[in-house]
């Protein structure tokens, strides 16, 4: 198993970025000063909007791109300038890279042939992978890859990668081409396999739910920068800023502009007195952004919130009331059997409230991870 460390990694595509990038992104590096350590056998997800640098980060770890500044270390060994074929990384991308005329089994065995491994060794690991990939995988690897469906090809590609026993396993949106049902099944298979073989893994996705499911920790990126790297609980309860706060969690956190006056916050027709610690946090400010998750409200009195529609989710035993406060969308969780209504009255539960700077959007206050975890 390998520990992967990125030290102040910057990658700038320079002129080329000028041609492809959005206007406001011109000249910015694809990766800027990335600092992260991925522990032995840890699975991490990298998530963020398109163009934020996820693939570039993966390529820098693989050696397909080199950092302009900073270092990449595997177990404290500097691999920054080492070519990909000497790094011992396994990669699976969105478009599968199988050798089309070989049977699936040939794909798995190819590595052993070129590396002159023994027949027994090949049989043994191929069997181990097939065991994990479960019922049906044996059949898949006996077929020519161009006769396999997209999902089947991707499963073979992942199997082939694991058979090679990589130091680090890198996956870039490996299942985003599959339909929803197959995606769910395949991501469970992948996770099972990674747990079994304990390979240090970096998993890139733009899908928040998938990132949460796959990763022991999640790295949230934006515009070439690492905004935050932590467990789901870290990101959910202690987001570093408004971007991370609204990126993680379903339904997304509601962000409401609030006026500060002394130790009170004003929103719509409500003036809420703040508890002393929050009053101290906002002292000297005239406005803040109040972040509230759907489950963070007391319902019954407080600000008048017009309700646009209600969404009942029986599996969550909840109804979501969607409305507006101070011109922004707000979602409030209600009991599943709450009657339909055109307005509700809401007050934040202060132990569940988040406060952000009105200008730079950094977190001023977060609830912290509850003791019960
Ligand atoms: P993501 O994987 O998050 O969508 P990428 O790492 O692919 O993001 O891209 C990050 C930024 O670098 C984007 O602005 C993209 O246009 C630019 N970029 C990526 N690859 C190249 C390249 N080969 N040449 C020039 N610019 C690139």
The CB of 18 under 6 Å from ligand 1? The reply is: no
**Segment 216-264, tens digit of pLDDT:** 999 999 999 999 999 999 999 999 999 999 999 999 999 999 999 999 9
Q: Is residue 20 in contact with ligand 1, taking CB distance under 6 Å?
A: yes
Q: How far is CA 115 from CA 167, 226, 312, 352, in A?
A: 16, 37, 57, 56
Q: What is the CATH number of domain 4-246?
A: 3.40.50.300
Name the band, by pLDDT with cuts 50, 70 and 90, for residue 99: very low
Spacing, Cα 251 to ligand 1 middle (Å): 29
Q: Counting atoms of ligand 1 from 1, which one is nearest the CA of 56?
A: 6
13 Cβ below 6 A of ligand 1: yes
Distance 224 CA to ligand 1 centre (A): 9
CB of 178 sitting under 6 A from ligand 1: no
* Distance separating alpha carbons of residues 330 and 323, to the nearest angstrom: 5
Nearest CA to ligand 1 atom 13: 51
Mean pLDDT value across residues 118-135: 70
Domains of the chain by residue range: 4-246, 251-365
Counting DSSP H helices and E strands in the chain, the numbers are: 11, 20
Residue 80 CA to ligand 1 center (angstroms) comes to 19
Ligand 1 atom closest to residue 31's alpha carbon, by position in its atom list: 10
Query: Global pTM?
Result: 0.87
- Report the relative pairing of strands 297-313 and 318-325 from DSSP bridges: antiparallel
Is the alpha carbon torsion for 132, 55, 84, 217 positive or negative? negative
Candidate of 10, 12, 13 to mutate for ligand 1, largest count of ligand atoms within 8 Å of Cβ: 13
pLDDT band at 132 (very low <50, low <70, confident <90, very high): low
């Amino acid at each position: 198993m390998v520990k992967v460390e990125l030290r102040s990694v910057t990658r700038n595509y320079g002129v080329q970025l000028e041609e492809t990038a959005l206007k406001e992104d011109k000249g910015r590096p694809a990766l800027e000063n990335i600092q992260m350590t991925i522990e032995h056998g840890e699975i991490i997800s990298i998530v963020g909007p398109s163009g934020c640098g996820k693939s570039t980060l993966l390529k820098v770890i693989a050696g397909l791109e080199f950092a302009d500044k900073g270092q990449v270390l595997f177990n404290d060994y500097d691999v920054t300038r080492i070519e990909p074929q000497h790094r011992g990384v396994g990669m699976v991308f969105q478009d599968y890279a199988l050798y089309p005329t070989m049977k699936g089994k040939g794909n798995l065995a190819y590595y052993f042939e070129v590396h002159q491994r023994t027949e027994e060794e090949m049989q043994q690991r191929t069997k181990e992978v097939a065991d994990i990939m479960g019922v049906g995988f044996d059949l898949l690897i006996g077929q020519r890859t161009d006769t396999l469906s997209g999902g089947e090809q991707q499963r073979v590609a992942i199997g082939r990668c694991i058979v090679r026993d990589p130091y680090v396993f890198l996956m870039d949106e490996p299942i985003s081409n599959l339909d929803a049902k197959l995606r769910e099944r395949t991501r469970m298979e992948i996770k099972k396999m990674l747990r079994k073989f304990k390979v240090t893994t970096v998993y890139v996705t733009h899908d928040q739910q998938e990132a949460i499911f796959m990763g022991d920790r999640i790295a949230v990126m934006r515009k070439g920068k690492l905004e935050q790297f932590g467990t789901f609980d870290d990101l959910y309860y202690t987001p570093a800023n408004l971007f991370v706060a609204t990126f993680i969690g379903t339904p997304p956190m509601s962000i409401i502009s609030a006026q500060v006056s002394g130790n009170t916050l004003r929103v719509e027709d409500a003036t809420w007195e703040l508890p002393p610690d929050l009053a101290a946090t906002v002292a000297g400010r005239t406005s803040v952004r109040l972040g509230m998750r759907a489950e963070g409200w007391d319902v019954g009195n407080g600000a008048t919130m017009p309700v646009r529609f209600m969404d009942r989710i029986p599996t969550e035993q909840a109804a979501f009331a969607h409305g507006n406060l101070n011109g922004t969308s707000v979602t409030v969780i209600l009991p599943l059997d709450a009657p339909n209504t055109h307005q509700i009255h809401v007050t934040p539960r202060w132990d569940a409230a988040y406060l952000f700077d009105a200008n730079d959007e950094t977190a001023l206050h977060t609830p912290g991870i509850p003791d019960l975890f």
